[in-house]
Amino acid sequence: MLRSGSKLNLLIGINIIAFLLINVTDTLAKFFFKTGVIGFYADEYLLLSPNLKTLLTHFWTPITYMFMHAGPLHILFNMLWLYWFGQIFEEYLGKKRTLGLYLMGGLAGAALFLLCFNTIPLLANGSGALVGASASVMAISAAAATLLPDYTISLILIGPVKLKWLVLFFIIIDFLGIVGPNAGGEIAHLGGAAIGFFYIKRLQKGHDWIANFSTIFKPKPTLKVVSKNSGGRSNELPRQEEIDLILDKISQSGYDSLSKQEKEVLFRASNSNES
């Protein structure tokens, strides 16, 4: 989980460890001591309540809720979805943006959940807490589909499907579910999907929210050393404008439309992101 350098593996590992740590101990406590105190306190202090007064005293829950799950099937499908789309995302944008987008998607889902449950009359009296990584996963899924809309994957019993249609299908399902029993979860999904879409659109215009945020904490170098490489293959890092043009071309025509030189530029940019 740690040695691979993949933030995708790290996120999946954290979710699984948190789920097992809480649920295994809760099951043992119920079996031997007939008490569900562990599950009670986990729900009370780690899930996101729609009550703003509760949020003031549980201010960490907009982060913790996105690493919690309601049951084995809940975490299974979320982690499978995260793994499939996360691999596509990391293949084309490197491994440094996955964690940031996961957190951004979860926070966007939490914000939209709180906004709707405290302003919309239909939901104002609703109860129940927000739990699960679904908003974060939808952010990564929507980002992958926005970056590579014509990327095709094969689904069992269905066949080849383009990412844009697959993600759009689930967004429509989520929208139709905002008046159902899991309204809070569906609203959070939409918030995560929106942040994934807008993140890629801004990235294609040269504005990387995640990278810009991370550079705030890095000291700026006072000395710049320039060297020339006379060999055949350049080691110089590609310019952001060059990367943006290639990403635009992928978005419009797919990865296979790139020339050998453009693929090499993207490869060097990906390696620089992983270092």
**Residue 11's domain is classified under what CATH number?**
1.20.1540.10
Q: Are residues 199 and 118 in the same domain?
A: yes
Q: Are residues 117 and 196 in the same domain?
A: yes
Q: Are residues 19 and 110 in the same domain?
A: yes
What is the pLDDT, as a whole number, of residue 207? 85
Q: Are residues 264 and 164 in the same domain?
A: no
- Residue 99 is assigned to a structural domain of this protein: yes
Determine the Cα–Cα distance for residues 275 and 273; give it in Å rounded to an integer.
6
Q: Are residues 193 and 253 in the same domain?
A: no
Specify whether the CB–CB gap between 102 and 195 falls below 8 A: no
Q: Are residues 105 and 20 in the same domain?
A: yes
Q: Are residues 82 and 200 in the same domain?
A: yes
- Residue 221 is assigned to a structural domain of this protein: no
pTM: predicted TM-score of the whole model, two decimal places: 0.77
Residue 116 burial by CB count (10 A; 0-12/13-18/19+): exposed, middle or buried? buried
Determine the angle formed by the axes of helices 98-119 and 183-204, rounding to 10 degrees: 130
What is the pLDDT, as a whole number, of residue 209? 85
Beta partners for residue 152, in sequence order: 162
The range of the structural domain enclosing residue 78 comes to 7-213
Residue 240 burial by CB count (10 A; 0-12/13-18/19+): exposed, middle or buried? middle
Q: If the chain, 275 residues long, is cut into consecutive pieces of 10 residues, what is the mean pLDDT of each piece?
A: 81 96 94 90 94 94 95 95 93 89 96 93 79 96 94 87 94 93 93 96 87 55 46 57 73 68 73 54
Q: Are residues 180 and 248 in the same domain?
A: no
Host H or E run for residue 240: helix 240-253
Helix (H, G, I), strand (E, B) or coil at 130: strand
> For residue 231, which amino acid is it?
G
- Residue 218 is assigned to a structural domain of this protein: no
Domain count, the chain: 2
